[in-house]
Structure 1
Amino acid sequence: MIVVGVGVGPGMLTEEGIRAIRKASVVYGAKRALELAQEHITCEAKTIKDYKSLHLLPADAVVLSTGDPMFSGLGKFAGKNDTIIPGISSMQAACARTKVNLTNLCAITAHGRDFEPAKAELIQELKNGRNIFLLPEETFGSCEVAEILKELGINAELYTCENLGYPEERIAKGTPDNPPIAETILYGLLIVQKR
Structure 2
Amino acid sequence: MKIVGVGIGPMQLTREAIRTIESAAVIYGSKRAIELAQDHIHVKANIIKDYSGIPFLPDETVVLSTGDPMLSGLGKYKKAGDIVIPGISSMQIACARLGIVEETVEIVTVHGRDYTTEQNRIIEAIEQGRTLFLLPDPKTFGTVELASLLTRHDIKATMAVCEKLTYPDEQIRITDTRHPPTVSTNLYCIVVWR
Give matches, 1:25-64, under 5 Å.
Answer: 25-64=25-64
- CA contact under 8 A between 2:126 and 2:193: conserved in structure 1? no
Deviating more after overlay: 119-128 vs 65-74: 119-128
* Partner residue in 2 for 1:176: 177
- Number of residue pairs aligned between Structure 1 and Structure 2: 193
Q: Structure 2 counterpart of 1:135, which letter? A: L
Matches of 1:36 and 1:109, distance apart in 2? 22
State the distance in 2 between where 1:26 and 1:38 align: 14
TM-score scaled to structure 2, two decimals? 0.94
Unaligned runs of 5+ in 1: none
**Superposition deviation, residue 150 in structure 1:** 2.9
Deviations 1:11-70 (A, max 9, x none): 001111111111111111111100100111112211112211111112221000000101
The alpha-carbon deviation at position 152 of structure 1 amounts to 3.3
Q: Percent sequence identity over matched residues? A: 48
Q: TM-score, normalised by structure 1?
A: 0.94
Tell me the distance in 2 between the aligned counterparts of 1:42 and 1:179. Answer: 44
1:167 aligns with 2:162: no
Alignment of 1:18-97 (within 5 A): 18-97=18-97
Considering only aligned residues, what root-mean-square deviation do their CA atoms show, in Å? 1.3
Which sits farther off after the overlay, 82-91 or 173-182? 173-182
Question: In the TM superposition, what is the alpha-carbon distance from 1:103 to its structure 2 partner?
Answer: 1.2
* Counterpart Cα distance in 1 of 2:125 and 2:193: 12
Supply the distance in 2 between the matched residues of 1:153 and 1:48 (Cα, whole angstroms).
43
* Cα separation, 1, equivalents of 2:148 and 2:88: 30
Aligned to 1:99: 99
In 2, distance between residues paired with 1:34 and 1:150?
Answer: 40
Residues in 1 aligned to 2:33 and 2:104: alpha-carbon distance in whole angstroms: 29
- In structure 2, distance between residues paired with 1:133 and 1:32: 22
Alignment match, 1:192: 193
User: Following the alignment from structure 1 to structure 2, what is the Cα–Cα distance between the partners of residues 139 and 51?
Assistant: 21
Residue aligning to 2:151: 150
Runs of at least 5 residues in structure 2 that lack an aligned partner in the other structure: none
Alpha carbons 2:21, 2:41 under 8 Å: kept: yes
**Secondary structure of residue in 2 paired with 1:36:** helix
Post-superposition offset of 1:120: 2.2
The answer to whether residue 128 in structure 2 is matched with residue 128 in structure 1 is yes
Alpha-carbon distance between aligned partners in 1 of 2:36 and 2:185, rounded to the nearest angstrom: 20
